[in-house]
Structure 1
Amino acid sequence: MEPRRIAADTYVFEGAREHFTSANGGNILNSGFIATGDGVIVVQSGPSRRYGEEMRAAIGKVTRRPIARVFVSNLHPDYFLGSQAFADAPIAALPGTIDGIRSDGRAVTENMYRLLGDWMRGTDAGPPTEPVLGATVVQGGHRLRLMPLAGHTAADLAIFDETTGVLFAGGLVFSDRAPTTPHADIARWLLSLDELEALDIAVLVPNHGTIRTDEAAIGQTRDYLTWLDATLRASAEAGLDMNEVMAIEIPERFSVLSVLREEFTRSVAHLYPKIEQSVLPRVN
């Protein structure tokens, strides 16, 4: 793993714009760290113990300062399953994320073993140890705004470094990659994007996709989610079944998004049944 410097003291490990496969070892997210004068802030620990260990070794080549804290943005496996490599530091997350990992962490980990095989050797699901609430904290000269948001999941932590203008957007922003929706509430997600768009962003780090020096990825994510929600609702109103919805043509403007058709198909499975229930009248 090779860290890329994106701002003062700030580095990112860039992942592939793909699904989890045994070929990529689960390395599909952009994790990162801030090497402050008072210790290292880690953002996302990765999808496996092996990933976390390699990440920590790479951090050690940049700075010898200790790990001060690890932040986990949500309950999805690639955000927290590398935390064993940082067991000597506080692992911090929103209370909703901690509860979700306590509830579903074992099942999520078993699924990752099925997907990635030996890449997951020795990985266990441990919940974060420190709850995070909305606050602004100063760490070694970096002023970090911890933003408790929601929509991609029930609890999404974004971290905005007011010192450098770097936004670690977690799973709320996807850049040139189709969003994932297994725990999505699109209405809440769009409200969270409004809050992020109001920030004075110099560098935007989505957890999946291209790192940007503008806010275009927020608009891209908003456009896709708005289209997705409207399309599913119109389909339910028209009485389409799930297979018919999955075959719908996707607008050309979204062709820049990797894994587009696969994620759209998954989103239909995730979201359409509930939308159907809200639209179709009861006849009993």
Structure 2
Amino acid sequence: MTRLLALLALIAAAGSAMAAGFDYHLAPRQIAPGTWVLEGKQEDFTFANGGRIVNTAFVVTEAGVVVIDSGPSRQYGEQTVAAIARLTGQPIVKVWITHHHPDHFLGNQAFPPATLSALAQTTTSIETEGKAFNENMYRLVGDAMRDTEVVLPTQSVAPGTVDIGGHRFELLALDGHTAGDLAVFDHRTGVLFAGDLVFHDRTPTTPHATIARWLKSLDTLDALPFKQVVPGHGPVAADNGPIRQTRDYLHWLDGVLKQSAAAGLDMTEVMHLPLPKIFRQLAVIDTEYPRSVSHLYPAVEEAALKPSAH
């Protein structure tokens, strides 16, 4: 009888946990006046982290709250809204989605539709690929995705400056990580929200990358007079270290792929090349480097096989 009661108690507890949903344990960290970051884990997607591998952020202005990226799921978005409400009574007036990868926009359901804004290319990519991303996230992180559906941004972002509640936000329409990468620079605080154009102590992901254009975008970001940079993944920094690190990795990756193609290596051989010590320290290198080879090497091989124009 005692065992039966214990079993029933466990079942009830499990049911309560399911009813409560997935807890992301979001803890906003203030990095500048009115500016908060929700830091992601330096991991791959897992059931345990619920997709919380991304940095999202918000700025409390005199006119309302500006959010940078909505996160990987409806529950993440809802818990972000709750975390904001614990800090301020100001309404959420703007949500800027930096690009179309799923950990950055699948929290859109939690926010007022009229606040959701992105580059036109980002919205097009979400419309084209969002459903497949969402379905894949269910497989990767499980119950954290419960009731998550794709919600498109309703407002199109144009490059330039926008004044909101005493903050002058510079919106930069860039690309390279994807076909549309939005970076946001707050001139009032000097905080640069770089999205996935910048990774810090984590291996950059490349499923939609064009490395040459990505490097140009990094040069644009590096020229800004920022005081802090919030990367899409990895720790916030008070210098351009994350930009330099991302640039160094992309230069190396581009070089090793081109050299391997010129030498006639096949994809499997390239995946098993020894990695430089400086990059061995990067989180998830053992999964992201082979993925990058699979994403990028076929086009590099094809270019190497084309006859010279001279």
TM-score when normalising by structure 1: 0.98
Indicate if the aligned counterparts of 1:67 and 1:89 stay in contact, CA closer than 8 A: no
Question: In the alignment, residue 180 of structure 2 is paired with which amino acid?
Answer: A
Output the CA distance in 2 between the equivalents of 1:172 and 1:88. 26
Structure 2 partner of 1:40: 65
Structure 2 partner of 1:83: 108
**Which secondary structure does the structure 1 equivalent of 2:60 belong to?**
strand
Q: How does 1:188-267 map to 2 (within 5 A)?
A: 188-267=213-292
Question: In the alignment, residue 134 of structure 2 is paired with which amino acid?
Answer: T
Output the CA distance in 2 between the equivalents of 1:37 and 1:5. 17
Structure 2 partner of 1:112: 137
**Which secondary structure does the structure 2 equivalent of 1:172 belong to?**
strand
Structure 1 partner of 2:197: 172
Indicate if the aligned counterparts of 2:113 and 2:153 stay in contact, CA closer than 8 A: no
Output the CA distance in 2 between the equivalents of 1:248 and 1:142. 47
Question: In the alignment, residue 41 of structure 2 is paired with which amino acid?
Answer: A
Output the CA distance in 2 between the equivalents of 1:197 and 1:281. 35
Q: 1:149 aligns with which of 149, 161, 174?
A: 174
Question: In the alignment, residue 173 of structure 1 is paired with which amino acid?
Answer: V
Deviation at 1:135, TM superposition (A): 1.3
**Which secondary structure does the structure 2 equivalent of 1:15 belong to?**
coil
Deviation at 1:261, TM superposition (A): 1.9
Indicate if the aligned counterparts of 2:199 and 2:232 stay in contact, CA closer than 8 A: yes
Deviation at 1:256, TM superposition (A): 2.4
Counting matched residue pairs gives 282
Indicate if the aligned counterparts of 2:45 and 2:53 stay in contact, CA closer than 8 A: yes
Q: 1:139 aligns with which of 164, 186, 191?
A: 164
Deviation at 1:126, TM superposition (A): 1.2
Runs (4 or more) in structure 1 with deviation over 4 Å come to none
Give the root-mean-square deviation of aligned CA atoms. Answer: 0.8
> Which consecutive residues of structure 1, in runs of 5 or more, have no partner in the other structure?
none
> Which consecutive residues of structure 2, in runs of 5 or more, have no partner in the other structure?
1-25
Output the CA distance in 2 between the equivalents of 1:160 and 1:281. 41
> CA-to-partner distance for each residue in 1:46-78, whole Å, 9 max, x for gaps?
000000000110000111100001000000001
Indicate if the aligned counterparts of 1:179 and 1:263 stay in contact, CA closer than 8 A: yes
Q: 1:20 aligns with which of 26, 36, 45?
A: 45
